[in-house]
Structure 1
Amino acid sequence: MKSARAVSARSRSVAIGLRAAGAMALVLVLSSCTLFGGGSGSKDSSSPNPEIAEAAPADLRSYYTQQVAWAPCESDFECAKIKVPMDYGKPDGESIEIAALRLPSEGSNKKGSLLVNPGGPGGSGYDFVRDAGATNISEKVRSNYDIVGFDPRGVKRSAPVTCLTDQERDAARAKVYALDTDAGLAEALADNKAIAAKCAEKTGPVLGHVDTVSAAKDLDILRGVLNDSKLNYLGYSYGTFLGSTYASLFPDNVGRMVLDGAMDPSLSYEELTSGQAKAFEKAIMAYVTHCLANSGCPLSGTPEEAVGQIQDVIKAVEADPRSAKDGRTVNASTFVSGFILPFYNDDNWPLLTQALDSAIKGDVSPMLRLADFGADREPNGTYTANSTFAFGAINCLDYPMVTDTAGMRADEQQLREASPTLGYYFAYGGTNCKDWPHQSVRTPAPADYKGSADIVVIGTTGDPATPVEWATELRKQLGTAALLTWKGEGHTAYGRSNDCIGNAVDSYLVDGKTPADNTVC
């Protein structure tokens, strides 16, 4: 993984509907990565709590009562693998393993474990806790909880979705499709069908079981083997969807739950991408306004004129893909992938300014570096994660998508209206799932939480990936919940915003003090 400061404090993983006009070229921004630690050095076997075992479903009791061995790993952490059913419809069938990493609490009054999901879908909670747990989660929380990150099923170390070699991934990202033409769309569908077949061949039957409902059931087994009677949970972005799914399935097991960068589970895939397209266009306007007010900005004129200049650069690369200094071709898909990355944290806006300045002068290499960073590609050509493929596989199961040509064409026009700059690159998500080997298993619906524990939902006014309106809607669906809103730019708030958000979350997680609903920070 790259240094946390390679793109400043790297943003939490996020679900993006960006199609990026390339085979399976969905973008995922992963967690920050600087190594630090703190933890015990001895092996620990956790014995099951009899009360938790008794409360477990009878056909899953062997999973809840499994002996889990935590062993030293990653310098100062502890790691374990937890068995879960591959198919919850057949609990006596094949099992898979969920990889987890723990940052043990050094406090004297430990409250249990805090499980963390950084987003995606496809983000590694293992990596997040290892590389960013001590910077994004306060010392107050860490002294009261063991912080546990895990790779959800299908992600990196946990029965990973596997599709292409590194060289094939480079080739797929470099391809150019004119998706608004019949020939271009047909070519993309053919390529995606071939990729889907490779995913099925290399991943095996678990590919049909990487949906979010199954991941939420895994989460309850993790809670059980950690000997926690209630789930304490911090979820960012897609992690809020996983959290609200858990709350709907296991309302009586919810402890203290923070859902930051909220997703609205009632929205269709097309509604999600439309909301993101609008939010990114809003974020672009905020960025250019800031850029124009500072020295060194390569844009000029009014904010509207500056946005037009960005659109012109993208159109120029679309018409004539450029060569980077390493000899690789940068098409518009790759360019846009790099362009959107800094919007997840406004601390990264200076990097975007530098990359735009270089691109305007003819050098697209800085934009390619940003795109590679978001795609988990190292300078030596190796890919360090499977986030792109996990993203696609999970979404194909979680969302029934518009896959007919007329529907995708209509969706493209709506997205272009929502975001004149990026709308086209959010379109045609259905091409990824049209020939996917497994049908979707979920119909979008509001969260159905009937529990008594308070849940904290957080939204950010300038969030480009999970628009603040989604937090308002999720809060309504959760009944016993409180909404925190940060007036800021970028994706998610806790760990990168201000003391108002930080203190409210810490007081809730540690002291059980629920913040006042509709608090604005």
Structure 2
Amino acid sequence: MPRTSHRIGALLLLTALVAGCSAGPSQRPAVAYRDAEQPVAPAPAPPGPAPLPGLGPSAGSALNWADCTGETREELALPATGPSFSCSQLLTTLDSPEAPAEGTTRAALLSTGTGGVPLVVLGDVHGEPGTSVAARLALKLPPEVLRTFRIIGMDRRGTGQSDPADCMPPTQRENIIGFDPQATDRASLDRLLTSVRVSSQECLLDLDDRLQAYDSWRTAADLEELRLELDVPKLHAVGIGEATRVLTTYAQRYPDSVGRMVFDGGLDPQLDAMAVAGAQAQGAEQTFDAFAADCAARGSCPLGPDPRRTVQELVQRTRATSLPAADGPVSAGKIVRVLLHGLGEPERWPRLASALAAANSGDGARISALAAPLVRETGADPARLDGDLITSCNDTRLRLPAERLVHVATEWTGTNTLFGGLFAQRLAWCAQWPEPQEEPPPPSAPGLPPIPVVTTENDPLVPAQGSKHLAEQLPTGVAVNWQGTGHGAIGRSDCVTDAVSRFLVQGALPAEGKACPA
């Protein structure tokens, strides 16, 4: 991507990066006081839920779609038979803080299904691009969903083919992803902060005024522009995990455009960024226990009778000596990150266990292959770390000082032995990042239609308790509780998939607190 020309603004912001970010003025609204003797009228009762919108008309044809079935099947290793795919691009408004409502950026789109009503699918910013998520999800949806809807996946800003944020030096990507997940001393963590600072500076110089335009607030605006281009009155959408932050922001900004939405998990809106990260570390440990029990129950677990002990010993060994691999050393950090993301896909647990067992025998090739999408271009997609770091830091105002990082890393590695340090380090990613001007608001928009929120008992990235709190805080949230394991229940649980499908197609709202067995 060519660099933009606003160099003076970049250099000014770069100075702020090196010097550190200071807290801005209070964002709290002004408080109005009344005369103590003047009676105060009671606050009006909040409006009840809006009626569930109808499906509405089919999408318009303003976007130019081209067949991309062959490329999609090849890139994602999908079956040779099945649904066809079409691809397009949406030109949206960049809307950077330096130039509000100005500039343009592109969003990559993929559609599938024979129905005419659009159903947008969004995935986590740290995972596969939204186009890939939609293509894979379509293979798991019931035929009536594909006959009713046109499933549309969108790569979020800075990810996939949506003007990707490919700006971090490859060496620094490797340093950040491979960093010792159990480091707790100041000297070691300072090395991580150095890699983060260098990466931040390079991204600033490369992206310039686009840097702070990659966030959930503006991605919500991309969805509204997509709705307008599709020429439909309501946006029907499914958000998976962290992507529900974009949909809650959309509901705040465009409440009249909200259609039938489903949140497949979601981060706890009652917690700040640090508390969320701590809860995620605990959820990852809990999901690992489910993975270990599943492996041991198979009778021929390649990790032996005690998978946790095997993996912990592997991590300890590779903290000191990385494993060899053709495309670079495999460190403890890479192993733990591959493990974290692999825990979200129970259908691939045997493959994950085999990769860990090979690493335990000294062969890091399989782990290296699983870690590749994080640190380098794979197929047509750029490294995922860049878009993840940029969007995550633009979505929070938390800037953790180095002294505090040492304390948090020490505490979390003691309580969550595999994943505590990894989530503590994610907090350090933003230490040198410019503080955002906006932060996604809590999901408090009244008058929305009902929104099912799916919770998963063992989710390594979105703890079940956080999803339950999201359902409670949404004025019209309806909890659907899956007692299973994985990141995202739609397509994994027949019970959840059926409930979501009937809601989307027929408008049948699940019963509050509906329980789905594992």
What does residue 37 of structure 2 align with? none
TM-superposed deviation, 1:421: 2.1
What does residue 47 of structure 2 align with? none
Residue 461 of structure 1 pairs with residue 467 of structure 2: no
The answer on whether the counterparts of 1:252 and 1:451 sit within 8 Å (CA) in structure 2 is: no
Gaps of 5+ in 2: 1-59, 70-83
Instruction: Tell me, in whole angstroms, the C-alpha distance in 2 between the residues paired with 1:258 and 1:383.
Output: 29
Where 1:329 maps in the other structure, the secondary structure is coil
Q: How does 1:148-159 map to 2 (within 5 A)?
A: 148-159=152-163
TM-superposed deviation, 1:361: 2.4
Where 2:247 maps in the other structure, the secondary structure is helix
Greater Cα shift, 466-475 or 416-425: 416-425
CA 1:486–1:220: 2 relative to 1, 3 Å: same
Q: How does 1:76-95 map to 2 (within 5 A)?
A: 76-87=84-95, 90=99, 92-95=101-104
For each residue in 1:223-250, what CA deviation from the matched residue of structure 2 results, as whole angstroms up to 9, or x when unmatched? 1111111110011112211111111222
What does residue 182 of structure 1 align with? 186
TM-superposed deviation, 1:69: 3.3
Instruction: Tell me, in whole angstroms, the C-alpha distance in 2 between the residues paired with 1:445 and 1:71.
Output: 34
What does residue 406 of structure 1 align with? 403
TM-superposed deviation, 1:91: 5.0
For residue 251 of structure 1, the aligned residue among 239, 252, 255 is 255
CA 1:335–1:140: 2 relative to 1, 3 Å: same
Specify the code of the residue in structure 1 equivalent to 2:147.
S
How many residues were matched structurally? 442
TM-superposed deviation, 1:177: 8.9
Instruction: Tell me, in whole angstroms, the C-alpha distance in 2 between the residues paired with 1:170 and 1:127.
Output: 24
Specify the code of the residue in structure 1 equivalent to 2:392.
N
What does residue 364 of structure 1 align with? 364
Residue 127 of structure 1 pairs with residue 132 of structure 2: yes
The answer on whether the counterparts of 1:266 and 1:445 sit within 8 Å (CA) in structure 2 is: no
CA 1:394–1:256: 2 relative to 1, 3 Å: same
Residue 99 of structure 1 pairs with residue 108 of structure 2: yes
CA 1:513–1:264: 2 relative to 1, 3 Å: same
Greater Cα shift, 223-232 or 416-425: 416-425
CA 1:347–1:283: 2 relative to 1, 3 Å: same
The answer on whether the counterparts of 1:154 and 1:207 sit within 8 Å (CA) in structure 2 is: no
Identity of aligned residues (%): 26
For each residue in 1:69-88, what CA deviation from the matched residue of structure 2 results, as whole angstroms up to 9, or x when unmatched? 31313145433333322117
- Calculate the aligned-residue CA RMSD, in Å: 2.6
CA 1:99–1:385: 2 relative to 1, 3 Å: same
The answer on whether the counterparts of 1:277 and 1:419 sit within 8 Å (CA) in structure 2 is: yes
Greater Cα shift, 223-232 or 78-87: 78-87
Greater Cα shift, 338-347 or 73-82: 73-82
Instruction: Tell me, in whole angstroms, the C-alpha distance in 2 between the residues paired with 1:151 and 1:215.
Output: 10
Instruction: Tell me, in whole angstroms, the C-alpha distance in 2 between the residues paired with 1:127 and 1:244.
Output: 22
CA 1:173–1:260: 2 relative to 1, 3 Å: closer
What does residue 51 of structure 1 align with? none
Specify the code of the residue in structure 2 equivalent to 1:68.
A
What does residue 116 of structure 1 align with? 121
TM-superposed deviation, 1:220: 1.2
Instruction: Tell me, in whole angstroms, the C-alpha distance in 2 between the residues paired with 1:306 and 1:176.
Output: 21
What does residue 162 of structure 1 align with? 166
What does residue 413 of structure 2 align with? 416
For each residue in 1:90-120, what CA deviation from the matched residue of structure 2 results, as whole angstroms up to 9, or x when unmatched? 55522222222222x534xx4x211110222
What does residue 470 of structure 2 align with? 474
The answer on whether the counterparts of 2:122 and 2:154 sit within 8 Å (CA) in structure 1 is: yes
The answer on whether the counterparts of 1:338 and 1:372 sit within 8 Å (CA) in structure 2 is: no
What does residue 314 of structure 1 align with? 315
What does residue 56 of structure 2 align with? none
The answer on whether the counterparts of 2:88 and 2:109 sit within 8 Å (CA) in structure 1 is: yes
Instruction: Tell me, in whole angstroms, the C-alpha distance in 1 between the residues paired with 2:452 and 2:340.
Output: 28
The answer on whether the counterparts of 1:264 and 1:446 sit within 8 Å (CA) in structure 2 is: no
What does residue 447 of structure 2 align with? 451
TM-superposed deviation, 1:373: 5.0
Specify the code of the residue in structure 1 equivalent to 2:259.
G
Q: How does 1:54-69 map to 2 (within 5 A)?
A: 68-69=62-63
For each residue in 1:482-516, what CA deviation from the matched residue of structure 2 results, as whole angstroms up to 9, or x when unmatched? 11111111111001222x11111111001111111
TM-superposed deviation, 1:413: 2.9
The answer on whether the counterparts of 1:288 and 1:306 sit within 8 Å (CA) in structure 2 is: yes
What does residue 63 of structure 1 align with? none
CA 1:347–1:71: 2 relative to 1, 3 Å: closer
Greater Cα shift, 81-90 or 406-415: 81-90
Where 1:428 maps in the other structure, the secondary structure is helix
Specify the code of the residue in structure 1 equivalent to 2:87.
C
The answer on whether the counterparts of 2:175 and 2:192 sit within 8 Å (CA) in structure 1 is: no
The answer on whether the counterparts of 2:159 and 2:165 sit within 8 Å (CA) in structure 1 is: yes
Q: How does 1:99-498 map to 2 (within 5 A)?
A: 99-103=108-112, 105-107=113-115, 110=116, 112-121=117-126, 123-129=128-134, 131-164=135-168, 169-170=173-174, 173=177, 179-300=183-304, 306-324=307-325, 326=326, 328-372=328-372, 375=375, 378=378, 384-436=381-433, 438-443=434-439, 446-498=442-494
Where 2:63 maps in the other structure, the secondary structure is strand
TM-superposed deviation, 1:279: 0.8
Specify the code of the residue in structure 1 equivalent to 2:239.
G
Specify the code of the residue in structure 2 equivalent to 1:126.
T
What does residue 21 of structure 2 align with? none
Question: Structure 2 length as normaliser, TM-score?
Answer: 0.79
Specify the code of the residue in structure 2 equivalent to 1:72.
A
The answer on whether the counterparts of 2:334 and 2:371 sit within 8 Å (CA) in structure 1 is: yes
The answer on whether the counterparts of 2:181 and 2:333 sit within 8 Å (CA) in structure 1 is: no
CA 1:469–1:73: 2 relative to 1, 3 Å: same
The answer on whether the counterparts of 2:179 and 2:192 sit within 8 Å (CA) in structure 1 is: no
What does residue 514 of structure 1 align with? 509
Instruction: Tell me, in whole angstroms, the C-alpha distance in 2 between the residues paired with 1:122 and 1:300.
Output: 30
Instruction: Tell me, in whole angstroms, the C-alpha distance in 1 between the residues paired with 2:185 and 2:152.
Output: 47
CA 1:293–1:147: 2 relative to 1, 3 Å: closer
TM-superposed deviation, 1:150: 1.2
What does residue 504 of structure 1 align with? 499
CA 1:237–1:178: 2 relative to 1, 3 Å: closer
CA 1:360–1:92: 2 relative to 1, 3 Å: closer
Where 1:330 maps in the other structure, the secondary structure is coil
